A and B are shown apart, each in its own frame.
Chain A
Amino acid sequence: MRWSLLLGLALVASALLLVHTAYESRRLFTEIERARSQHRQLERDHQRLEAERRAQATHLRIERMARDRLAMRAATPALVHVVADPGPATAAGGRR
């Protein structure tokens, strides 16, 4: 008799836990879903902005701006002093 009472209580507790877990899982699922859609949205924004940034930073545009607005001009070798760097750091990356 005592055993069945105990088991009954355990059953009720487990049932309540199940309800809670199901609720939690739904809630977390919604949350992850929201985070995912936010992730997608941010990714899309990122791509859009990246394209925008590149369009603003094309070589032709930069050059035009530098020339017209900042009165700059392209450097000729006559204006460049080339120095040889003997250090090992230059061996790895030549450009940019």
Chain B
Amino acid sequence: MRRAASPARAAGAVRSVNYASSPLLAARTPPWRSRLVVALIGLGSCVLLARAAYVQLIGAEFFQAQGEKRFAHTLVLHGSRGRILDRDGQLLAISVEAPSIWAIPRDLAADRARRQQLAAALGMAPAELERRLADNPNFVWLRRQTDDATAARVRALALRGVHQTREYRRRYPEGEAAAHVVGFTDIEQRGQEGVELAFEPRLRGRDGSRDVIRDRFGRIVEDFGNQIAPVHGADVVLSIDAKVQALAFRAIRDAVAEHRAKAASAVVLDARSGEVLALANYPSFDPQRRQRLSGAQLRNRALTDTFEPGSTVKPFIAAWAIESGRATPDLVIDTGPGWMTVTGSTVRDHEPMGMLTLATAVQRSSNIAFVRLALQMPPREMWQLYRDLGFGQRPQIDFPGAVSGRLRPYRSWRPIEQATMSYGYGLSASLLQLARSYTVFVDGELLPVTLLRRAGPVAGQRVLSPATALQMRGMLELATGAQGTAPRAQTVGWSVGGKTGTALKQDGSGYASDRYRASFVGIAPVDAPRIIVAVMVDEPRAGRFFGGQVAAPVFSQIAQHTLRTLDVAPDRSFAQQIVAKDAAALPEHYR
């Protein structure tokens, strides 16, 4: 195309693309080229715009996420599990950090020698390590919740493919002494037994999270996005006194050894608030080493095992006879030749006792006297009494596995059954229930028991008048006197009162002839009760089996030390031994 060949066309070109007004500057290039360029640029812009729209609007989430992945991290903020404390704030359970070591076997670049080093650092046999590594090529735990020393040794090896995570594990400083009360958790810190299970919702913490930006050194440089604060589990303060718990545990452990018994349990209650100061069972277990545990060790006998209370219920019959005006402590009861028949069945005393007052009947534990008293009461009244004392009802206590015991409805009682129930056969209760029932002798009220610390005294349910309760305490003290069934329940310095129980164990439908359960429930000091202690020894096999011989000494030991621990002033005179600075130490029995 030649220049100005056609003025009209040139003018048309100038009109459409007006590069310059001067014709000298008029473009030589054909206008389609410039149009093409404009169109290409326009198209390019459109593509960019579309891409921008795609990135910003349609695919925004994906790109945002990809971007964040490259610099953002989400940290897990650990919400720790609450502690379990005793009434004075002593630790019974706490979560501590424990490193866990894991590996990606596929990444593990280690020859034989290095692997042996690793096994040694982990404290396991090389074969065991190989077995674990062969489990899964992507992830295996090498050692969970180990100690810092092990973790440091493994870290020092600096092996590729071996990693560490922070985990938490439960520590139980009191060990086997409080094992049944405190319980334990599984490896994921979920409560499995005891208080750990009962208060799981309160103890459990909830992990939080925090989104952060890290620089290339891995340092946190900025927070962004969501922060969820961790919720730490609340502490649980129990009514248990670690000191009392420990000495109760020691006392029953020694008793089991001494009498070659199958098991033993002890419950210590605060007589004013109904708080459980100690609840111990033997055999026990170490909550930190739970391999090869047997059911016998795990069982919280004081709460989950029921037994026939035997003579320990006799004071209730006496108390009710007084309360209902049927008797006074001086009422004389004829126990005859030591046996009597009730609708064809014979009830016996362990020895003929002749004429007894009610007080001496409690003191010497005559079955016949209580059968005579009980048969004056309509079955319904006696049933109501036992019911009011908490028998046959699940105790209102936050604890897994607490049982109700058995108290049959009065309509089905036969006279002989009512008779045996007056001395503790034909109904069953747990040791905790039995201990609780003795709270009526404090002030006539049945106190609610609890495992949590209470602020002060509580109101119970009135069963007896305070006057009757006082008279009964006097009788219970007689039972631990020289003429009573349990002189060995006495302590040095404090007055005590209580009642023994020696019950044959049930064996299928009948009773075993040589297997006993020795028990003792007592209250101390008698004048102003502070504690109630219930002791049960299962199947003593070393010759002696009476409650007064087997359980009463355990009661004495627990009461003695508990009263001292609680700073209760002695209320009975005793021979002072503080005389000279070089007084010879008295020989004592340990274990």
Residues of A within 8 A of B (CB): 26, 29-30, 33, 44, 47-48, 50-51, 54-55, 57-60, 63, 67, 73-82, 84, 94-96
Contact = CB atoms under 8 A, between A and B. Distances in A.
A67 B585 CA distance: 13
Contacts of A59: 177, 242-243, 246-247
B249 A78 contact: no
Given A26-B221, A47-B94, A58-B177, A77 B578 contact: no
B242 A30 contact: no
A89 to B, nearest CB: 14
Interface in B206-254: 219-222, 242-243, 246-247, 249-250
B577 A78 contact: yes
Contacts of B569: 82, 84
Given A51-B96, A58-B177, A76 B560 contact: yes
Contacts of B246: 58-60, 63
Which applies to chain A's interface (DSSP): helix, strand, loop or mixed?
helix
Interface residues of B, number: 41
Contacts, number: 90
Nearest to B493: A77
B481 interface: no
Contact of B91 (A44, A51, A80, A82): A51
A29 B222 contact: yes
A59 B177 CA distance: 10
A77 B492 contact: yes
Given A78-B493, A82-B570, A95-B567, A47 B242 contact: no
B91 A54 contact: yes
B494 interface: yes
Nearest to B247: A59
A38 to B, nearest CB: 13
A47 B95 contact: yes
Interface string B554-591: 00000011001011011000111110000001001010
A72 to B, nearest CB: 10
A67 B247 CA distance: 14
Contacts of B564: 75, 77, 80
28 contacts: A26-B221, A29-B220, A30-B219, A33-B219, A50-B91, A51-B91, A54-B90, A55-B173, A55-B175, A58-B174, A58-B242, A58-B246, A59-B246, A63-B250, A67-B590, A73-B588, A75-B564, A76-B493, A77-B491, A77-B574, A78-B575, A78-B577, A79-B577, A79-B578, A80-B578, A82-B569, A84-B569, A95-B88
B171 interface: yes
B90 A48 contact: no
